[in-house]
Amino acid sequence: GTKGNRFCMPNARVMIHQPQSICCLTGEHTLHIYLWTGALLMGYTKIRRFANLRKSNTNPPPLLPSSPQRGDLPLGRNMEDAILDFSYKEYAESPPRLREESSWVQNPPIKKTKECGHSSLGTVFHFEPCSSSKTRDVIIVTEENPKKKNKKLVLPYLHDHVMYSILNRLTAHSLYHHCKQWLPITSNPVFIHHHLHTSPLGLITAKYINNNTTSLFQFMEFDGLHFKLQDLATLPVLFNVVSSCNGLAVIEQRQLDETQSTATYVINPITMQKIQPPWDVLRKVGISTCWIELVFFPSTNEYKIVISLWDEHTNYSFLCIWTLGGGRDNLWREIDGSQVWFKYMGNRILVDGVLYWDFFHGLLAIDLSNEKAQLLQLPNQLSSGLKSMLKMEGCLSFVSYCNPQKADIWMLKKNNSSSSPTKDEGEEWVIVFSIVPPVGQMRREILRYLLSVLGCVNNGQVIIFRKLNDCKHQCGSLCVYDVNTKKWREIENDKDFSEYKVVHCNSLVSLQKS
């Protein structure tokens, strides 16, 4: 590519409606798309937001961060937020420099539809690589028209670095289902890792459809107090999502038979790859499962499953751990120091390679590096059972309900002198802010511990509470709190939805190991 490659359409407006499609509409705006690939490769340009530029307005659109962080991207990213995120270092009115295989249609027909997606606003152009070109150009093809031949436009040679940045702005669902032409890029482990850390956090749950014979994965993405539901995939069984880590989910399948036996899998709801750990060796008489947690240990790039088992004979619970893809000799291992005299306690949070389990008067910290556990003490203000644990800004945090008028947010902040992942002299608990519940039923529910924290999304700007239905912490309706506006919203749980909801981000992380 050379500096200044661009195309413009006078008296027309362009918008991207679906991944791999461009819709062209007549309108009052003129949009200039500048693919300044040469400068992008040298790192001289910034990523800028696109804008529909009026003829009378020549101000450039505002800058975007060159490396977007989780939560920076708008709700429901699609090709509109991907292709047109690429802006320009300079722009000027100039004729397009495109190699056309046929003439450009200045006034394309409107009210067309596309079979692979809803795009009834105008003519659709497919966005795909040019397989016949030695320079790997990109072809934009118009929608099929029985009266006219397909129109083709060729954008000269988009470098992998440019396509990398474009594709990184798409959702995992769009990449996997609509961008298979770019598989050499999207299947690269480096791309998958980068895309994972720019994917927004939300909630994943299951919706029961077809007379409660099929389960549908649904992802809730939040923008303040508003949310958007996205259908991911279906399974011909009923299941609950019990844990999630880096786009991989642990689902518990329920069998509709007399035994009501369960089967548990690790699955990627986007790619639908799944594995079943060897649970049979843990199923013994008098041994029951309390909870299951999927965790990731970045030092070794390994995913592990931690399971809490309850021994009815001794009234003790203990923890076992298993490594995904660990080979033939990979067996369940009991974690040292994990025996406790409690069956049900608080939630679990993974922070810096340590899985924390909330007790009433302390924390059980499971170090994933040496697979050992130790009991940590909490300050007196947090030693009571009226608290919920969460991860906020990458730090271990608590919501404390001890104050009758408000809920305090405590955070364990690490000083520069401390390098230990567990509680150390270089760490201290501080109150970062407080939440004042609205007057009425919600305040009574929070202060009576009927609302517990489910997690936080949008870089800690949205905290999601759940109403507890029983001691197993199943989730009924949700209460969403916006830290910026200090407003609340209650979201009722539909009867067709599973009561289990966990914090999740969609990703292309693979379960296939070489």
Query: Buried b / exposed e across 17-28, counting CB within 10 Å, b at 16+?
Result: bbbbbbbbbeee
Local structure of 253: helix, strand or coil:
strand
Q: How many CA atoms lie within 13 A of 159 on its CB side?
A: 14
| Among 64, 104, 98, residue whose Cα is nearest residue 84 | 64
Cβ atoms of 340 and 347 closer than 8 Å: no
Distance of CA 68 to the CA centre of its chain: 14
| 427-435 and 5-8 strand pairing | unpaired
3-state secondary structure 343-356: CCCCCEEEECCEEE
Q: Give the integer Cα–Cα distance in Å for 192 and 55.
A: 40
| Cα angle 439, 441, 445; round to 5 | 105
Question: Catalytic pick from 17, 126, 473, 504?
Answer: 17
State the sign of the Cα–Cα–Cα–Cα dihedral 373, 379, 385, 390.
negative
Local structure of 415: helix, strand or coil:
coil
Q: Give the integer Cα–Cα distance in Å for 243 and 293.
A: 6
| Cα angle 16, 113, 96; round to 5 | 40
Residue 178 sits at φ, ψ, to 5 deg, of -125, -5
Residue partners of 184: CB distance under 8 A and separation at least 6: none
Q: Give the integer Cα–Cα distance in Å for 135 and 45.
A: 23
Residue 239 sits at φ, ψ, to 5 deg, of -150, 165
Q: Give the integer Cα–Cα distance in Å for 502 and 245.
A: 10
Instruction: Supply the angle between the helices 160-167 and 189-196 in degrees, to the nearest 10.
Output: 40
The string of DSSP letters for 218-246 reads: EEEEEETTEEEEEEEEEESSEEEEEEEET
Q: Give the integer Cα–Cα distance in Å for 487 and 484.
A: 8
Q: For this structure, is 17 an active site residue? A: yes
Retrieve residue 223's tokens.
Answer: 């923008």
3-state secondary structure 264-322: EEEECCCCCCEECCCHHHHCCCCEEEEEEEEEEECCCCEEEEEEEEEECCCCEEEEEEE
Catalytic residues: 17
